[in-house]
Chains A and B, each alone.
Chain A
Amino acid sequence: MATVTLWIGTRKGAFALRSDAQRRRWTLSGPQFLGHTIHHIVQDPRRPRTLLMAAKTGHLGPTVYRSDNGGQRWQEAAAPPMFRRAAAGEPARAVERVFWLTPGHAQQPGVWYAGTSPAGLFRSEDGGAHWAPVAGFNDHAMFPQWASGARTPDGELLHSILVDPRDPAHLYLAISIGGVFESTDGGRDWAPLNEGIEADFLPDPNVAFGHDPHCVALHPLAPDRLYQQNHCGIYRLDRPARRWHRIGRAMPAKIGDIGFPIVLHPRDPDTAWVLPMDGTTVWPRTSVGGRPAVYQTSNGGKSWQRRDRGLPRAHAWLTVLRQAMCSDSQARPGLYFGTTGGEIWASTRGGEHWRCLAARLPEIYAVSAALR
């Protein structure tokens, strides 16, 4: 059985939790890049010793670091993601944060994608050393409407860049706020894919874009199956259909179906996990009632089961951000989440029982699992 490394991106640096083969004992290491804001750390499945990390500091602009030795040493990108120089009269866009990293298709071993705030899509063809804007999206005629630069408190975010494992030219991405978009020609052209998604914060709930996807996931073994945790509920889409269905309607009414992350079982397309948060009134975004729970569906969203054994029973006002929950790919998948209060929680029994692996870390932005 392989060991697991959890890479933890926080507001104040990068940490790693390494397991033994049974995932019983975990050893915390770090911080690396103490004081840096780490939005995402992602292992390259094509070259498992390679990792990319999205970073900035409070003072300094955004960049990307690459490691080729499992995170021991890091090399800064020679050309980090940046928009092209604006022509006269154009908005002068500048990347404030690299927010999301996605490895490219297995047939394109050097390719990576990055999503930024404000919304921008970038591509590297040399393993993250040099990045270029994806003009087909960033300069699309509709881009000013799709990504309006909404000044939400944490800024406009481009995330959930998904590559169809059957076709490197088939891509999805999401903008919060903006919606889900699809390309079938390698990023040269894009179209909205938001039919059926609610947008109760807009005057017209039937818009083609302008929605708020929090996290979108594609099942690697059933790539026609997409799940979405949205600002307005949990959805499923089975391509080639274009209409999402709100599977969160089957969640308990007192819990609701609002949250940030959604995590898929690595082999079973019908199994997924969410972590509901309070999306009422002024949107506290904390565990509902101060009682955190993961909810699992094993039938594609027809029903959901509460998974809270081992989690605090009261007065635990946790917030879990969209990159801060993940699974590993072991035979019995481990589930992990990190909180903005600096705790890491784990279940190696499919969510049936939880335990705290680490506490008092800085505010956690991202948790990703890497196998060794």
Chain B
Amino acid sequence: MACTVHLGSPLRQYTGGAATVSANGATLDEILTDLDRRFPGMRFRMIDEQQRIRSHIRIFIGTDAAQDLQRAVAPRQSVHLLCALSGG
């Protein structure tokens, strides 16, 4: 079942500017893998090679902050992939 993924502006270079896309998967890991299949390179910009969420990326499933890629994502639940930055 597809869920809706909302993308922070730095990620939209991969989606042709689209702020919202759909993705399939039962976990956050599967959602991100599906996104990377359709938008190659996107996942590594958010998730490092040790499968950790990068420092300035925030992921919410519904309204809950996710720290773990194995978090379940329910059908039709929203996922927010956001970018946080400080400094000039």
Q: Please determine whether B44 and A80 come into contact, CB atoms closer than 8 angstroms.
A: yes
Query: Is A67 on the interface with B (CB-CB < 8 A)?
Result: no
Least Cβ distance of A223 to chain B in Å? 34
- Of the candidates A57, A59, A61, A78, which one forms a contact with B48 in the assembled complex, judged by CB atoms under 8 Å apart? A61
Least Cβ distance of A134 to chain B in Å? 15
Q: Please determine whether B57 and A94 come into contact, CB atoms closer than 8 angstroms.
A: no
- Of the candidates A57, A60, A78, A94, which one forms a contact with B49 in the assembled complex, judged by CB atoms under 8 Å apart? A94
Query: Is B46 on the interface with A (CB-CB < 8 A)?
Result: yes
* CB-CB nearest in chain A for B49: A82
Least Cβ distance of A89 to chain B in Å? 13
The interface bits of chain A over 66-87 (1 if a CB of B lies within 8 angstroms of the residue's CB, else 0) are: 0000000000111010111110
Q: Please determine whether B45 and A60 come into contact, CB atoms closer than 8 angstroms.
A: yes
Query: Is B37 on the interface with A (CB-CB < 8 A)?
Result: no
Chain B residues touching A, majority SS: loop
Query: Whole-angstrom distance between the alpha carbons of A78 and B41 in the complex?
Result: 6
Chain B hits for A94, CB < 8 A: 48-50, 52
Q: Please determine whether B85 and A59 come into contact, CB atoms closer than 8 angstroms.
A: yes
Query: Whole-angstrom distance between the alpha carbons of A225 and B27 in the complex?
Result: 56
Residues of chain B at interface, number, CB under 8 A: 21
Chain B hits for A63, CB < 8 A: 41, 44-45
Query: Whole-angstrom distance between the alpha carbons of A57 and B52 in the complex?
Result: 17
Query: Whole-angstrom distance between the alpha carbons of A92 and B47 in the complex?
Result: 13
Least Cβ distance of A133 to chain B in Å? 10
Query: Whole-angstrom distance between the alpha carbons of A82 and B45 in the complex?
Result: 11
Least Cβ distance of B88 to chain A in Å? 10
Query: Whole-angstrom distance between the alpha carbons of A55 and B39 in the complex?
Result: 18
Least Cβ distance of B69 to chain A in Å? 14
* CB-CB nearest in chain B for A59: B83
Query: Whole-angstrom distance between the alpha carbons of A83 and B51 in the complex?
Result: 11
Chain B hits for A85, CB < 8 A: 49-51
A→B interface (CB under 8 Å)? 57-61, 63, 76-78, 80, 82-86, 92-95
Q: Closest 10 CB pairs between A and B?
A: A59-B83, A82-B49, A60-B45, A94-B48, A92-B50, A59-B56, A58-B85, A61-B45, A59-B10, A76-B41
